[in-house]
Every structure is written in C-alpha cells, then in structure tokens.
Amino acid sequence: MNNKNKELESMRHSAAHLLAYAVTTLYPGTKVAIGPVVENGFYYDFAFENPVTTKDFSRIEQKMNELKKKDFAFTQKWVSVKEAKELFKDEPYKMEIITEIEKGEREDFGHKGEVSIYTSGEFSDLCKGPHISSSKQIGVIKLLSLAGAYWKGNEKNAMLTRIYGAAFPTKEELDAYLWRLEEAKKRDHKKLGKELDLFVFSELVGSGLPLWTPKGTVIRELLNDFVWKLRRERGYQKVTIPHITKKELYETSGHWAKFQNELFKITTREGHEFAMKPMNCPHHTQIFAHLPRSYKDMPQRYTETTMVYRDEQTGELSGLSRVRCITQDDAHVFCRKSQITAECSSVWDIVDSFYSAFGFKLEVRLSLHDPDNMKAYLGTPELWTEAEDALKTIAKNRKVAYVEAKGEAAFYGPKIDFITHDSLGREWQVATIQLDVNMPDRFDLSCINEQGEKERIVMIHCAIMGSIERFTSILIEHYAGAFPLWLSPVQVAVLPISDKYIDYAKKVNDELLAKGIRSELDTTAESIGKKIRTATLQKIPFMGIIGQKEAEQSSLCLSVRKRDGKDGGLQMLDSFINTLKQSIENHE
RNA sequence: GCCCAAAUAGUUUAGUGGUAAAACAAGCCCUUGGUAAGGGCUAGAGUGUGGGUCCGAUUCCCACUUUGGGCUCCA
C-alpha cells in the first residue's frame, strides 16, 4: 500500500472515531463496539438505548463537523489491562475485547497485557491506530446508511446498529463518489429489468421467484444456446431429470444432513417425504450409475439447464442476484482421475470463450476447505489435499492470477470459482468448476479399467453462467441494458414516418422476421421523433425509418439509425439483413 | 431469520385525520410530420393485506406480505 492510501485510511479511521465521539456526546448511554475503515469510508457499530433512524443523520453530521472544528489531537497511550478495564468499565463490548487481550486471544488492540488507547477530545477508544494528528485533517464526511449488524458477525450475538459513512479528503471527491453511486443505481438490473420488461415479481407467487417475460426469455435462451454450443463442441450430452426426488437420494448424497433446512420439502398423500431438487448432481449420478461403464466410455459429460430450488432466508433475497429458484447451466463430468486436468482445462476454456464474448474480466478464486472445520465437509483430509493439489496445478498451468480462499469449498470438494461484481461493486460468484471425490464414493461410482478392475471415478461439477438469473443481472448492469445486437430481445424497430408508409413498413418488418431478425413495427400515430425516442429508450440497437424516400426505391429499403444516434444512411434491406446476420454470428 | 426504511393508477411520483393530484404509458380524435417527446379528449387507484384507535383512517398504532440497504447465510 502506498503512502497516500495509508493516509486516506488513517483519515477514515479517524472519521470513525469522530462519529463515535459525536454519537456518544449526542446520545449518552450509547455503548460503542468497533469502527473500522471500509472502501470509500468507514462504519461504527453502536448499541443505542433508543433507536436512531436516518432522520438523525443530519444532527449527527452536524455534531461531527462541530467537534472536528475543535481541532483536537488523536493521542495514543499504552495502558495496562487493569487500567483499561477501569477506563471502559461501562462499555461491555470494549470490556469483552480487553478480556480477550488479557487472555492473549487477540492482538489487534494491544499485546502482552498492554492495551493501546487513542484519545480524541473527550472520547477514548481501544485502538492501535494509526490516526491523523488533528481532527481538522479529517476530510469531508457524509453518513450514508444505517444497518443492523451482529456483534462479532455472529448471528447468536446481539444485533448492533451500524452507521456507514463516506469520507474523502475534499468535497469534490465525495461528490464524485456520490455521483458514481447514483450512476450505478441507474444500471441497477432491478430497475432496468422493469423498464425493459425483462422479468417481474408477483406478490402472489412469492419472493425470490422471478417470472420471465417474453423479452427476458429471449435473452435467457440465447445465453443458454451459446453455452450449449461451446459444450457440444467438447463432447457434452444433454440429459433431463425431474425436479423432485425422494429424500433417500439426498440422504445418500449427504445433502439431507447438511442442507435440510434449505430444502423445500413435500409430503405425498401416502406420507412419503420428497424434496424439490436444490442441486442436480445426485440425480445425474443415477444416470451415470445405471450402466456398468468401461474406461473406454470415460469421461461421460452430462449437461442440463434446469431450475433448482432453495429455501433461502427472506432477508437474503435480492432481485435476480439471490433467488429461490435458480436456473443452473449445470454439467457433471464423470471421469477418471487421470482425466481431471484435461477435463477441468476444457471447462476453463469454455469459461474463457464465453466471458470474453461479453468483454468480461473475471477474478479467479480457488475455494479450499478449512482444515480446522472438517465437520463441515465429506471425506478425509488426504482426499481433500489430493483434490486441491489437482486444482492448484491446473490454475498454475493457466498462468492466471488467483486467490486462495480457505473455507469457501463446497462440502464435497474444492472449487475454482469465477467472481465478478455488480454495479454497486458487490461480489458475485458466477462460473464454477468443482472437483468432487466424495460423491462418487457415496454413490459407488466407478468404471472398469484396463486391468478389468473396478476403478473409483471422480466428478467435476461445472456451471458456466452459474445461475442464469444472477448472470443476467450482472449482464444487464454490465451493458446498462443496451445489449449487443445478438442478445437484444428486439433487434430492429421499423418506424414508418406516417400512416401512408405503414404498408411498406409492414413488408420490411415481415421480411426481417422471415430472415430471423427480431423486429418490431411501430404503428402508433406519433411523430417520427417520438418513435425514435421510444425505440432508443428501449435500447433497441437498430431503427429502420420508412418514408417517401425509401418507398420510391425499386427494392425494399430503409434508413438505418443506431441507438447511439449514429446515422447508418439509406440501405437496401437485403444487404442490411446480411450485415446484421454477420454481426449476430460473431456475437456482436 | 435479525436491524433500519418503504409500499398511493401499468410506471414514476405528489398529497391529506373529513374517501386523492400529476406526468408518462393506455384508448379515442385531430395532425401525416424525415432522425430523442405535435395537440386535444377519455378512462384508470380509494392508497399492499388484515386488525385496532377515532364520529371519521390512505394519513396514527399493531401484525402480516412484499421491496430496498445491511448483518448472518449462500451446495
């Protein structure tokens, strides 16, 4: 980290102290927890005696600015645990931290029985710093939001009130940041999904259950066809499974024990327990397992785009990013251990081809198990190490930057996850390649090898988009709703200049439709300016304007306008269609 | 699930303790206009659902549903 970033961080950290100072001054009796720096600002967690709301923000901000002007210093002092306990005897959260320092369980605020304290004005806090030297150096602050947060991030603990704030050295930088936030909100897939009529939610159907309109469905299917094309070239075969199953399938797979709270359960009239499928792998194993497999038949690559259902907590749901019915472009490769590298690399190739078609940059995360929490996983530490080493080798061979994330693995195996961000910078996992050496054990999946022996196989779970819902949400925000031609639900809007040219325009529109172009004819009695505006707001890539000039030509013609306003001039319909087809072919 | 906030016409929003206003969209009429909003008229909500307080509730209170921002979770 460079010096400038360190300075900014100290400033924001000092702003967090200033917030706590202001809050404890305004609301005596408020207990303080912790207040770290985050991207673009800071937060501080409080236990208020009486609830505060965002309406109190201006008052708090005013107090902060007032205190800031007093130009107090941030001074550090090391005290003994005993002294610290005396100083913070009325602050239960601080006392808890001091006790942990005493026990040697944490070193972030002190060490060896000594505690670091920063005092600023009349406010003291456990803190190792660093801080800026004077409160006047704190930049421009704006309180942004109020949120509940569990003490120490544990849902069994008390719910504290977290106040988020932004802090920048100058007002210009703060305004620029707030403007960026506003711009990001304009790309919000929930907003654009409504405006462009791609998907809807119904209170009657329920939360987390999106309904896809004709336009949205066009996009889903085109994306899915693209993935299928890439898979077909690499030897995948489509399979189809039912959406419910007996609970015994998940008892065998281990999902019932681990995820039964997240399963939508069904009891039949005869009293048998079924569940909506929350994943597809156990079903797919049964397709693999129904025949004895020769090593010559390996690998078997099954793919299926299908919905899975998960009873997510309502508070976790969000637009298309987090839903209860997830369309996975799922695939399972059943292969021999010796085939792992080739198969994983092949999937990675698909991921690369697919995402580069959209100009997406993905971050790579190697999701590993947490050796200190083996009860969360199936299988032995040896199996895990073996599987993880295989993935590490593949990642290294591809010479891409990746991070390792302990504890992020699936319960049956390590993963290579591909991560991207939404318009507000939140991280989402999209594609995934998961190596599974456990499920084959549980379902006794094997092939007969060259020696005529039964050989345990492995499974590779992979999804390219991950969830079509989530991928679509990211894509909508990536393009701000202006999809490339090949993905646009409506590719051409045919706009007659007046009623007189509707017949001619209809011929043009019919010809476009006949050639497989998604075209729409605007017959409203509006001015051409209005029709252009409407089509532009709908982000339709091409407009074909039809009037006297076009109708006079010997063959079908249209004047082309692009959605960015560029004039494509008068064109013969045939050659226009050919140009479009070429672009569509190239995923432009 | 937890914390905070919100819910008014298809959409975006205004407003009020005495049953609600507008713009866009829609329908009709006039206009037949050449590259981002031509004009007029009409219809459309009883204010998310259910309770409570009140002479009277869309407005105040409670619960639920849904949505947003977080927390926790995310095979």
- SS3 of residue A117 by DSSP: strand
Strand B, nucleotides covered by protein (CB < 7 Å):
1-5, 11-12, 25-27, 29-39, 48, 65-75
- Find which nucleotide's C1' atom is closest to A188's CA: B68
Handedness of CA A316, A282, A230, A351 (dihedral sign): positive
For chain A residues 497-536, those near strand B by a CB cutoff of 7 A are 497-500, 524-530, 532-533, 536
Distances (CA, A) of A318 to A226, A323, A421, A478: 26, 7, 14, 17
A472-CA/B65-C1' distance, Å = 27
Binned at pLDDT 50, 70 and 90, residue A137 comes out as confident
pLDDT at A424 (0 to 100): 79
Could you tell me which residues come within 8 angstroms of residue A320 by beta carbon, excluding any fewer than 6 positions away? A189, A190, A193, A199, A210, A469, A470, A472, A473
Residue A525 backbone dihedrals phi, psi, to 5 degrees: -85, 55
Tell me how far apart the alpha carbons of residues A69 and A202 are, in angstroms, rounded to a whole number: 51
Yes or no: say if A212 and A468 are a contact pair by the CB < 8 Å rule.
Answer: no
Chain centre distance of CA A185? 16
Tell me how far apart the alpha carbons of residues A319 and A475 are, in angstroms, rounded to a whole number: 13
Over residues A202-243, the pLDDT tens digits come to: 999 999 999 999 999 999 999 999 999 999 999 999 999 999
Tell me how far apart the alpha carbons of residues A321 and A66 are, in angstroms, rounded to a whole number: 41
pLDDT at A226 (0 to 100): 97
CATH 3.30.980.10 maps onto chain A at 3-179
- SS3 of residue A463 by DSSP: strand
Chain centre distance of CA A258? 24
Binned at pLDDT 50, 70 and 90, residue A567 comes out as very high
pLDDT of A4 > 80? The answer is no
- The closest alpha carbon to A149, from A162, A140, A136, belongs to A162
Mean pLDDT over residues A482-495, rounded? Answer: 97
Distances (CA, A) of A399 to A344, A391, A394, A395, A402: 15, 13, 9, 7, 9
Determine whether the distance from the CB of A37 to the nearest atom of strand B is below 7 Å.
no
- Find which nucleotide's C1' atom is closest to A551's CA: B34
Determine whether the distance from the CB of A206 to the nearest atom of strand B is below 7 Å.
yes
Mean pLDDT over residues A32-55, rounded? Answer: 90
Chain position carrying tokens 């961000």: A421
pLDDT at A170 (0 to 100): 92
Yes or no: say if A253 and A247 are a contact pair by the CB < 8 Å rule.
Answer: no
Over residues A253-279, the pLDDT tens digits come to: 999 988 888 999 999 999 999 999 999
Over residues A282-340, the pLDDT tens digits come to: 999 999 999 999 999 999 999 999 999 999 999 999 999 999 999 999 999 999 999 99
CATH 3.30.930.10 maps onto chain A at 194-479
pLDDT of A46 > 60? The answer is yes
φ/ψ bin of A399: left (φ > 0), alpha (ψ from -120 to 50), beta (otherwise): left
A54-CA/B59-C1' distance, Å = 22
Mean pLDDT over residues A390-409, rounded? Answer: 93
pLDDT of A388 > 90? The answer is yes
pLDDT at A58 (0 to 100): 87
- What burial letters (b/e) apply to A236-271, b meaning 16+ CB within 10 Å? beebebeeebebebbebbbbbeebeeebeeeeeeee
A313-CA/B17-C1' distance, Å = 38
- End-to-end, the C-alpha distance of chain A in Å comes to 39
A526-CA/B27-C1' distance, Å = 14
What ipTM was estimated for this complex? 0.94
List the structure tokens of A375: 């009860």
Yes or no: say if A166 and A141 are a contact pair by the CB < 8 Å rule.
Answer: yes
pLDDT of A428 > 70? The answer is yes
Yes or no: say if A266 and A200 are a contact pair by the CB < 8 Å rule.
Answer: no
For chain A residues 128-167, those near strand B by a CB cutoff of 7 A are 145-150, 153-155, 159, 161-162
Binned at pLDDT 50, 70 and 90, residue A349 comes out as very high
DSSP one-letter code for A452: S
Determine whether the distance from the CB of A545 to the nearest atom of strand B is below 7 Å.
yes
Partnered with residue A211 across adjacent β-strands are A200
Mean pLDDT over residues A482-486, rounded? Answer: 97
A204-CA/B7-C1' distance, Å = 15
Q: CB atoms < 10 A from the CB of A283, how many?
A: 22
Say which residue, A124 or A444, is predicted with more confidence: A444
pLDDT of A413 > 60? The answer is yes
> What DSSP string runs through A222-279?
HHHHHHHHHHHTTT-EE----SEEEHHHHHHHTHHHHHGGGSPEEE-TTS-EEEE-S-
CA max distance for chain A: 96
- SS3 of residue A420 by DSSP: strand
pTM for this prediction: 0.93
- SS3 of residue A157 by DSSP: coil
Mean pLDDT over residues A93-97, rounded? Answer: 90
List, by residue number, the catalytic residues of A.
281, 310, 328, 330, 332, 415, 461
CATH 3.30.930.10, applies to A194-479: yes
Over residues A532-546, the pLDDT tens digits come to: 999 999 999 999 999
pLDDT of A1 > 60? The answer is no
Determine whether the distance from the CB of A314 to the nearest atom of strand B is below 7 Å.
yes
**Residue A160, amino acid:** L
Chain centre distance of CA A493? 33
A500-CA/B30-C1' distance, Å = 16
pLDDT at A106 (0 to 100): 79
A566-CA/B69-C1' distance, Å = 39
Q: Lowest-confidence range among A65-74, A107-116, A486-495, A551-560?
A: A107-116
Binned at pLDDT 50, 70 and 90, residue A101 comes out as confident
Handedness of CA A498, A504, A506, A510 (dihedral sign): negative
Provide, rounded to the nearest whole percent, the portion of chain A with pLDDT above 90.
76
For chain A residues 86-115, those near strand B by a CB cutoff of 7 A are none
pLDDT at A71 (0 to 100): 85
Tell me how far apart the alpha carbons of residues A573 and A512 are, in angstroms, rounded to a whole number: 8
Binned at pLDDT 50, 70 and 90, residue A5 comes out as confident
Domain covering A485-585 in this structure, CATH number: 3.40.50.800
Determine whether the distance from the CB of A50 to the nearest atom of strand B is below 7 Å.
no
Over residues A15-26, the pLDDT tens digits come to: 999 999 999 999
CATH 3.40.50.800 maps onto chain A at 485-585
pLDDT at A524 (0 to 100): 93
- Find which nucleotide's C1' atom is closest to A562's CA: B35
Helix axes of A214-232 and A468-479: crossing angle, nearest 10 degrees: 110
Provide, rounded to the nearest whole percent, the portion of chain A with pLDDT above 70.
100
Q: CB atoms < 10 A from the CB of A507, how many?
A: 15
Q: Which helix (H) or strand (E) holds A328?
A: strand A325-335
Choose which CATH entry (3.30.980.10, 2.170.190.11, 3.30.70.1350, 3.40.50.1820) describes domain A3-179: 3.30.980.10
β-strands A300-309, A567-572 pairing:
unpaired
Partnered with residue A159 across adjacent β-strands are A150
pLDDT of A469 > 70? The answer is yes
pLDDT of A389 > 90? The answer is yes
Mean pLDDT over residues A240-255, rounded? Answer: 95
